[in-house]
Structure 1
Amino acid sequence: MTAEVADPVEAAEISPAADAGFLQRYGGTIEYILIPGAALVGALGVFGIFVALFGKSPLDLYFYMYQGAFGTWFSWQNTLTRAAPLILTALCTALPAQLGMVIIGGEGALLIGALAATSAALVMQSAPPLVVQLAMAAAGMIGGGLWIMLSGGLRQYRGVNETISSLLLVYIALAILNHLVEGAMRDPTSLNKPSTHEIGAANMIGSIPGTDVHWGLLFGIVAAIASYILIYHTVFGFAARVAGGNIRAAKIVGLGVGKLIMTICFLAGASAGLAGMVEVAAVQGRTNANLAAGYGFTGILVAFLARQNPLAIIPVAILLGGISASGGLLQRRLGLPDASVQVLQGIIFVFVLASDAVYGRIGFLKGKF
């Protein structure tokens, strides 16, 4: 009895993943999905062990996390509301990463953007609401953009490491916010928590019809799509990626690296500044210390988990927004501190950083068996 050998072409049609050519073409894409996914699963497993040490069931943990994030329409709305600023602050890290820069100052740009947006609204109280909202958006984006551009300028013209400078600028931004909110911009009627005057109900951004999710989510999605087009489908984006791959080669061929750095940093900061404007105009109604909620720092995790891809940032921000939204339910049902989700985010970040060593080392994704 002789066994018939299947035609290789037919075998590939039946199972594309077994075709070496298919894996060589798409192995990198599969890798960018598989490895972060594995890092996320590993982090959830470690967090489950951590919770089990305190006498809680990991299965209950995962169930209530799902319920708190995606189990009901109310949960979904809460998740999407939290995802909106995460998309915008993640872009603050993802865009400079195209140039090989590690900017982690999205929190500072968010705070400066919020202050600038609030100032614009208070100055233009008598203007039509639409004009005020546009002015707030413009002021927030300019404020945040200039803040991160400062870090880019220090890198380009003074040789200061952008990671360190952008982080330090966060604390400077927080100090400026506290100084103004407790001083020149303080509303005398805000006794328990110093705040600015309210921007006015008419100047608030409403919700998407049929939902309790504010329009900031749409702003974030549009910004992510626009960033993807800019980076991957324009000459400017190609130049940025070339400079990010080899900055010396970019200078040799005549690319204006300094201009690229300043422009990218401004756009990155503008995204985070817009997040600050959204938090003021859609959630808080004024500026106070509540704005320092850590969205800028969580945005760093979103950007790294999305591998700095602007489109991938959208689903990852929704996932991380869901994890954050589940904190309250975990506290009520399992007695865990609300900050437990921050511990999980820290574990995820460690796993994501560790997973960088795996990229390019998985043989079967290169068509090698």
Structure 2
Amino acid sequence: MTSEVADPAEAAVVAPSADPGFLQRHGTSIEYILIPGAALAAALVVFGIFVALFGKNPIDLYFYMYQGAFGTWFSWQNTLTRAAPLILTALCAALPAQLGLVIIGGEGALLIGALSATSMALAVPFAPPLVVQIAMAAAGMAGGGLWILLSGALRQYRGVNETISSLLLVYIALAILNHLVEGVMRDPASLNKPSTHEIGAANMIGTIPGTDVHWGLVFGLIAAVASYILIYHTTFGFAARVAGGNIRAAKIVGLSVGKLILTVCFIAGSCAGLAGMVEVAAVQGRTNANLAAGYGYTGILVAFLSRQNPLAVIPVAILLGGINASGGLLQRRLGLPDASVLVLQGIIFVFVLASDALYGRIGFLKSK
């Protein structure tokens, strides 16, 4: 009778399903995927019930939502186009969250960024297109950055709650935009909808070759990757996360918390300002009230669903962009209002907020 001795190297490799401690060791990472996914699924179920009350088949609802978002190449392009500003506005909420700040003023930074970019383009009408585009991007980022920086400064130096101040600044930004667009910056030819003069077809940033998706998507992807590197792979990002975890401890070890707050708020606002520039230079061609499309508010939902992770913002923004893109198809095929997707977004937001209490409370994922 012979006995086989197992190879020690093979014995050391244990499949995750056979490792009783795998779930406990990786519980936090699993939670970050499982809980938001469950919240999203529950919101879809509730939305289906809501639609069924109006005599519509929930199965048809889910089918047309998929078709309108990801079912065809045209749907994909529409989804990616809508995801581009969502990535940038989500970063406006995700980056300050690393410091424990709840900034929800991305919509205002987007509007100010769009207005700044348009003003720059109109100020240098005879410059080469590339120079104009770079100047527009710089102006949009500076305008949006300074707008969110104002919320951070009010928090740091006057003790004003940043959530309230950033939200109120959205309405101030909208008032400034309407005042200028309907006043000194108005194009006399824009009769029905007041608008600024066009920036010129030569100054538009165009689309990615072979697609109808504008270059704003690439800007968003670069910004998300750069933000991830900044937060998780630099000493600045480490200091920001330390201050976000315990601001008193950060001050004790000598970190300049005020400088961190102002810098992160400026970077966050510049992302939303860049989104405003992209909407002007790739979609609208001018500044008008159409820019207040709610991208800043949807970006908050993207940031919460992604748990403020800059890389996770990308797939979540694509998902939410797809939901927005499906609104037109739902209206044509099921007779639902185009704004019904806003109801779904509201339900998702409620479930995401409610699911926050589940982190660290799922039994089989808790460390022993």
Q: TM-score, normalised by structure 1?
A: 0.96
Q: C-alpha distance in 1, partners of 2:367/2:168?
A: 45
Matched, 1:249 2:255: no
Q: Partners in 2 of 1:162 and 1:75 — Cα distance?
A: 37
- Secondary structure at the aligned position of 1:20 is classed as coil
Shift of 1:19: 2.0
Residues 285-325 of structure 1 show CA distances to partners (whole Å, capped at 9, x for unaligned) of 00000000000000000000000000000000000000000
Which residue in the other structure is 1:193 paired with? Answer: 193
Distance 2:231 2:22 in 1: 26
Q: C-alpha offsets along residues 110-149 of structure 1, whole Å, 9 cap, x if unaligned?
A: 0000000000000011000000000000000000000000
Q: Which amino acid aligns with 2:45?
A: G
Matched residue, 2:149: 149
1:162 equivalent in alignment to 2:198: no
Is 1:363 paired with 2:363? yes
Segments of structure 2 that go 5 or more residues without pairing to the other structure are 1-8
**RMSD of aligned alpha carbons:** 1.6
1:364 is displaced (CA, Å) by: 1.0
Moved more, 20-29 or 136-145: 20-29
Q: Secondary structure at the match of 2:189?
A: coil
The residue identity in structure 2 corresponding to 1:213 is V
CA displacement 1:9-66 (0-9 Å, x = unmatched)? 9899564044233223321111100000000000000000000000000000000000
- State the SS of the aligned residue for 1:156: helix
One-letter amino acid of the structure 1 residue matched with residue 82 of structure 2 = R
The aligned residue for residue 3 of structure 1 is none
| Distance in 1 of aligned mates of 2:96 and 2:150 | 13
- Name 1:293's counterpart in structure 2: 293
Aligned to 2:105: 105
- Distance in 2 of aligned mates of 1:19 and 1:124: 64
CA distance in structure 2 between the aligned counterparts of 1:92 and 1:198, rounded to whole angstroms: 27
Contact 2:93 2:106 in 1 (8 A): yes
> Partner residue of 1:19?
19
Q: Does the 8 Å CA contact 1:149/1:269 hold for their aligned counterparts?
A: yes
Aligned to 2:130: 130
Task: State the aligned residue count.
Answer: 363
CA contact (8 A) 2:24 2:364 kept: no
**d(CA) in 2 for partners of 1:31, 1:111:** 35
The CA distance in 2 between the partners of 1:204 and 1:226, in whole Å, is 24
Task: State the alpha-carbon separation in 2 of the partners of residues 29 and 228 from structure 1.
Answer: 17
Deviations 1:344-364 (A, max 9, x none): 000000000000000001121
Q: Is the 8 A contact 2:198 2:285 kept in 1?
A: yes
- Higher mean C-alpha displacement, 25-34 vs 175-184: 25-34
Q: Which residue matches 2:87?
A: 87
Aligned to 1:203: 203
Cα distance in 2 between the residues matched to 1:357 and 1:266: 30
Instruction: Please tell me whether the aligned partners of residues 145 and 268 of structure 2 are also in contact (alpha carbons under 8 angstroms).
Output: yes
In structure 2, the residue corresponding to 1:311 is in which secondary structure? Answer: coil
Map Cα deviations across residues 232-291 of structure 1 (whole Å, 9 max, x no partner): 000000000000000011011100000000000000000000000000000000000000
Matched, 1:339 2:339: yes
**SS in structure 1 of the partner of residue 190 of structure 2:** coil
Instruction: Name the aligned partner's letter for residue 226 of structure 2.
Output: A
Match of 2:236 in 1: 236
CA contact (8 A) 1:93 1:300 kept: yes
Matched with 1:6 is none
Given residue 177 of structure 1, which amino acid in structure 2 is its aligned partner?
Answer: L
2:48–2:58 Cα contact (<8 Å) kept: yes
Report the 3-state secondary structure (helix = DSSP H, G, I; strand = E; otherwise coil) of the residue aligned with 1:33.
helix
Q: Is the 8 A contact 1:16 1:22 kept in 2?
A: yes
Give, in whole Å, the separation in 2 of the partners of 1:25 and 1:218: 35
Distance 1:350 1:12, change over 3 A: farther
* Structure 1 residues 51 and 327, CA gap change in structure 2 (3 angstroms): same
How many angstroms apart in 2 are the aligned matches of 1:310 and 1:134? Answer: 24
Contact preservation (8 Å) 1:12, 1:19: no
Q: Deviations over 1:315-346 (max 9, x none)?
A: 00000000000000000000000000000000
Q: Which consecutive unaligned segments of at least 5 residues does structure 1 have?
A: 1-8
Kindly report structure 1 stretches of 4+ aligned residues shifted beyond 6 Å.
9-12
For the 8 Å contact 2:24–2:366, the answer to whether it is kept is yes
1:202-259 CA-partner distances (Å, limit 9, x unpaired)? 0001100000000000000000000000000000000000000000110111000000
Residues 134-181 of structure 1: CA distance to partner in whole angstroms, max 9, x if unpaired?
000000000000000000000000000000000000000000000000
